[in-house]
Structure 1
Amino acid sequence: MKKLFIILSFGGLGLLASCGGGGNDKNAETESRKDEAKEEAKEEPAENPDYEKGLELVGKNDCLTCHKINEASTGPAYSAVAAKYPNTPQVIDTLSNKVIKGGAGNWGVVPMTPHPNLSKEDAVAMVKYVLSLKK
């Protein structure tokens, strides 16, 4: 898992490039980041069927622009989110709604950008992935 943190932390340059323009370069970068993260991960939690889907969705969306796995950036580190919240249906529902609607105040003054084009199902998978990172 530590290698995953390092890969995703250094992937920031590719993420900045993926924010602009469009086209096939963005898709190639997304696939490359996802493949690198999977390759470097020591193990995937087999007990969590949403791990793979959540990882893929986090890589495809703009999540890693503001969040990193193991260190605070514009937003909190995913590991800090996982440590703070229990993995319960109520928390998953609350956090997935926050991913879709955005929010502020729980982690400082910088608001989380809303993602209204995400389906509830996808937001839930992403939250389950993040919560699976609990140490």
Structure 2
Amino acid sequence: MSLKVKDLRVFVPAKDFDESMRFYEAIGFKKNWQHEEGLAELEISGNRIWLQNYYVKEWAENFMISIEVDDVAEWWRMINDLIVKDKFDSIRVKPPKDEPWGATITYCWDPSGVLIHFTQSTV
């Protein structure tokens, strides 16, 4: 038997679907399609997520996404600029931090409280 995974996507919760959509598009995700009932496939660099108009606080605030990038400092600057320029009052971002497991990480919370790890390998 040969079991192969052809694709893997996660369903990302959205407290305010339109605000979350605006955020993910602002950081570079492209909308492939959107269903009228609040489900959209978003893609960045060949990686896809499904943003859904569904929210449970305890779930959203314990949901995490890790995105490996080449330059974590650039991502931090871009997201920090979005907070100021585009008035994303509901997102937070921390400056890059060297972690002991061999990565520099910028922690960002999306409009629903989902924690995104923008990670750059240091090993």
Which of the five TM-score ranges fits, normalised by the shorter chain?
A: under 0.3
Q: Give the TM-score of the pair, scaled to structure 1.
A: 0.26
Select the structure that is richer in strand.
2
Calculate the TM-score normalised by the size of structure 2. 0.28
Select the structure that is richer in helix.
1
Larger Rg: 2
